[in-house]
Structure 1
């Protein structure tokens, strides 16, 4: 009944509208005949015959600018080509997205609404990997290789996963004079899922991956200083500018790879040959009970006319200028005294230094990748910096508390600091483990391939200098080395496949050497 009534009412509305339009058409005056060139027609009936009246110049309508659309779906490149964003906005967006490993930054879909611009980016990633030991989840990073005298050290493992798939949004506010505001929120599926075989099944781990925050920050750019506040790459090591091309997931053995919450101030002094970037950041401390933020600072030289093609991880390929970066880190620890029921505390200061470089050995230009060769590397040393490496704690732990009375159970020290950062030795001295790491990578685009194929190789190493000072040397790792060769190919601008072989040597503090062979196939669909 309601449907019939609604249809009837709609019909009446249509008829009324048609009748109104017909009536308006019937009562309207007849259209004037077209004006001859150079004048307008006098439509006064008394003027017979029709006479030509000159058109006053003042009555010529001025051209009206085309209105800017309130809403639209486009790309950053189209917005720049049409002048809807300034060159500065365009370059800032490209830089942000390239630093976030967005492979198709310029052509990623961008929504415009009332001056706001939101760019959707990311990729679908699938991986298949084989390891000769049962040491790792779906990425090896700095996790220990199983000792050769164990079951896990003598048997292999094959895995397949999509957990590194990513999706992100870059949001840009309407620009103001001398102020450009933007922000990013990015997620992937590497959120905590549990330990396979104890707290989660294999099927649950690989199939029901958990979403997590990867980046979330706001940025304000001015002619004087740029401000970044939120969850982003650590300034230490000038991440991500010196990530190598790899198939194995970052961070590799001995590769700085970390993100955290920070307030960063920076400025770039620009000249035609060289840019100088300086930055300082107050960072979330590695131990919150220290009650003091961590400090990071750095300076970076960029040689604008010395360029090569560089790929960070396997997802962000861009023409990149040669650069050298120096950075430092300062962190403070306050931990409970070495007792079962502590009342006082002990303090210590950790620090680190990093030197990084990207050097095009055979330079390249924007329109040519073929036969270009580049080198990337970093050297890092410091105390209590292992949390800025993926999965690295070195196996170090606190010594057992003294138990002179032989009490059962024995007293236990409860740490308030993440594993490997600050530990007590058998003498009750608070120690900050000292690490030195390095990484060197080469990347080559062979000729006659149109830039669709690249070859790469990487070698890296981490060293714990005071490995012999910690209890349980069968778990403490003295040093670890990583070697990798591989290639990637682009069947289309939106698709990339990579394949590699890697070898890892892990030497424990008791002299036992554990090794792992790995092969990995990866595929990406970029958007």
Structure 2
């Protein structure tokens, strides 16, 4: 009800104050989605509010009964089960979302911004019916943050994309991930944080430095997570980012290389039905990312014949939540013991030592806009995740439910019917090798439509 009232109020404000529909500079008319910006106040002290979002419709057919509407990091059903031999058909609009950007007047050189966004993919009770799951989707918070922009430093506080992996700049381009749905083995995390950053800009090269204090993966560790990164842009060579991150049309950006890392602490109750002590461990992660225009865009007005490569390589321990590679890993079964940390990050070995689970992942993406206009474009992604120790840390009774190697491939065709309407057809293949050496596969075909506002 609150969402509907807020939407109604925004419509009234637009009617009273007027809506800005000016074309963003440097964008071709074929790709422009003019924002619904409401300006309130006199020219010297304007308040600006921009409602935005999308209506998303997805039709999926899977060869197994492994997935709900989003693939994410779900574990495939084992190849000796009934679910591996029977398919699944799903229709979903749960990815639809709405958000509001708010800009206050600049005050003493500080420009305050705020953003709040939600969608309908929230958690629902496990015993909910299929009809309720798809037709009565739960609204959830995606982003909610405040940002202060100034010449010496920018400050962000709230929930949004993690600094690790420089999200969302290097996201893959897929009908699953095009608007921030996770694909296997790729970094995608929204979390609470306080971040500071500064960009050193020139005509040839921009260098951005950032550091953040982030919500820890385990609250009982009593320490925040730390993240830091540097991103370098070479401004003379421009391509199309793999993820259309803008609400006002397809952007272009420079050849970019990013480096980022994180460190986190774990403090887990000892493996006992009545623990009297904790065991400590440290997790860490490093990410190298690149956006390389193989065939640069001719100009910001023409994306036809543009070919862009995006790549990401991640290595770390205790970071499965960053790449959604929890892989089904759990703690060894012990009657009466409940771990005080999420599964998939750490576990106990046979000697009772707390161990972080190791993962190495990579993602490569190619995206090509067909000439002459680029309204029709193709994208393909390949990802892989592999752990060197999850098998040795998995109890034999769980070997058929934990994978140690995962591969993913997709191929996508998109067409921009209008600047506000995109349709897509895609194929997705997921392969997982379990600790017991069995291999499971899922083939997904997907038809999607997106209406942006």
What's the TM-score, normalizing by structure 1?
0.78
Residue of structure 2 aligned with 1:423, choices 347, 353, 372: 347
Distance 2:56 2:402 in 1: 34
Q: CA deviation at 1:305?
A: 1.6
Greater CA drift, 323-332 or 243-252: 243-252
Residue of structure 1 aligned with 2:36, choices 109, 114, 122: 109
2:437 corresponding residue in structure 1: 511
1:118 corresponding residue in structure 2: 49
Distance 2:381 2:231 in 1: 23
Change (3 A) 1:378 1:76: farther
1:72 corresponding residue in structure 2: 17
Distance 2:323 2:337 in 1: 26
Distance 1:132 1:333 in 2: 38
Aligned: 1:269 with 2:214: no
| Higher RCO (CA < 8 A, seq sep 6+) | 2
Aligned: 1:457 with 2:383: no
Q: Which has the larger radius of gyration?
A: 1
1:143 corresponding residue in structure 2: 74
Q: How many residues align?
A: 425
Please tell me whether the aligned partners of residues 283 and 295 of structure 1 are also in contact (alpha carbons under 8 angstroms): yes
Q: CA deviation at 1:422?
A: 1.6
Per-residue CA deviations over 1:468-489 (Å, capped at 9, x if unaligned) read: 2111211121111001111100
1:435 corresponding residue in structure 2: 359
- 1:227 counterpart SS class: strand
1:10 corresponding residue in structure 2: none
- 1:507 counterpart SS class: strand
Per-residue CA deviations over 1:299-350 (Å, capped at 9, x if unaligned) read: 0001112101234168763112110000000000111112110111111100
Residue of structure 2 aligned with 1:201, choices 117, 126, 129: 129
1:499 corresponding residue in structure 2: 425
Distance 1:432 1:329 in 2: 14
Q: Higher helix fraction: Structure 1 or Structure 2?
A: 1
Change (3 A) 1:227 1:269: same
Q: CA deviation at 1:194?
A: 2.7
Please tell me whether the aligned partners of residues 507 and 513 of structure 1 are also in contact (alpha carbons under 8 angstroms): yes
Q: CA deviation at 1:387?
A: 1.1
Aligned: 1:381 with 2:315: yes
Q: CA deviation at 1:226?
A: 0.4
Please tell me whether the aligned partners of residues 244 and 313 of structure 1 are also in contact (alpha carbons under 8 angstroms): no
Distance 2:19 2:205 in 1: 34
Which sections of structure 1, spanning at least 5 residues, go unmatched? 1-68, 82-90, 95-102, 402-410
2:331 corresponding residue in structure 1: 398
Q: CA deviation at 1:203?
A: 0.3
Please tell me whether the aligned partners of residues 70 and 182 of structure 2 are also in contact (alpha carbons under 8 angstroms): no
- 2:251 counterpart SS class: strand
Aligned: 1:233 with 2:178: no
- 1:357 counterpart SS class: strand
What's the TM-score, normalizing by structure 2?
0.90
Distance 2:149 2:365 in 1: 33
Change (3 A) 1:464 1:349: same
Please show how residues 83-482 of structure 1 align to structure 2 within 5 Å: 107-114=34-41, 115-195=46-126, 199-249=127-177, 250-312=181-243, 317-364=250-297, 365-390=299-324, 392-401=325-334, 411-448=335-372, 450-469=373-392, 470-471=394-395, 472-482=398-408
Please tell me whether the aligned partners of residues 318 and 357 of structure 2 are also in contact (alpha carbons under 8 angstroms): yes
Please tell me whether the aligned partners of residues 20 and 39 of structure 2 are also in contact (alpha carbons under 8 angstroms): no
Change (3 A) 1:135 1:123: same
